[in-house]
Amino acid sequence: MSGAVEIALTVNGEAVRRAVDPRLHLVDFLRSELGLTGSHLGCEHGVCGACTVRLDGETVRGCLVLAVQADGAAVETIEGLAADPAWDDLRAAFVARNALQCGYCTPGMLASAAELLAAGGVPTRDAIRDHLSGNYCRCTGYHAIVDAVESVARARAGAPAA
């Protein structure tokens, strides 16, 4: 009745082709079909941000995009971060600043933070908090995360560290 749909897309630069059930969302596709388990699933209704990935260069909620909607698109996940210097800088800063404890939110947090940094400049701490408002972290209380994002922004802009 539901009928599998053939899709072809690139994931972290690699061409992928699969037949998927229409109800399969993008993060379940990444995790169960491709074994890319770095993208996490929290609330599954768009609130927590753990599933944030990049679709055609923009962050999206992986639980609020169907795999069939990603047909023809380019998807980037935490597993592809080594290809992107911004993500790598963020990863190093998250380690240096202790900006994670359990790490469940971190892949989505990095995707959102990278999108903010791509806009350039040094965002205010309020602007960083606003931008990350849709990514929940239950461990850190956010201060260390804001510190990490701010330190990368400052380093990239050649500004003194806070």
Partner 1 sequence: MKAAAFRYARATSAAHAQALLAEHGEDARLLAGGQSLLAALNLRLSEPAILIDIGRIGHAAIEARDGRLRLSALATHAAIGRSAAVAEAAPMLAQAVPHIAHPAIRNRGTIGGSLALGDPAAEWPACALALNAEIVLASAARGERRVSAEDFFLGLYSTACAADEMVLAAEFPATAPNERQVCLELARRRGDYALVGVAASAKLEGGRISGLRAAFFGVGATPVLAREASRAAEGATVAEAARAAADALGRDLDPPGDPTTDGATRLRLARVLMRRAVEAMAA
Note the residues at the interface with partner 1 (CB under 8 A). 1-3, 5, 21-23, 25, 28, 44-46, 49, 52, 58-61, 63-66, 68-69, 111-112, 115-116, 129-131, 133-135
CB within 8 A of 107, min separation 6: which ones?
A: 38, 39, 40, 50, 52, 77, 78
User: To the nearest whole angstrom, how small is the minimum distance from the Cβ of residue 82 to partner 1?
Assistant: 22
Token pair for 97 = 């600043």
User: To the nearest whole angstrom, how small is the minimum distance from the Cβ of residue 160 to partner 1?
Assistant: 28
Cα angle at 21 between 19 and 27, to 5 degrees? 95
User: To the nearest whole angstrom, how small is the minimum distance from the Cβ of residue 71 to partner 1?
Assistant: 8
Beta carbon nearer to partner 1, 98 or 133: 133
Beta carbon nearer to partner 1, 36 or 68: 68
Cα separation, 130 vs 143, whole angstroms: 13
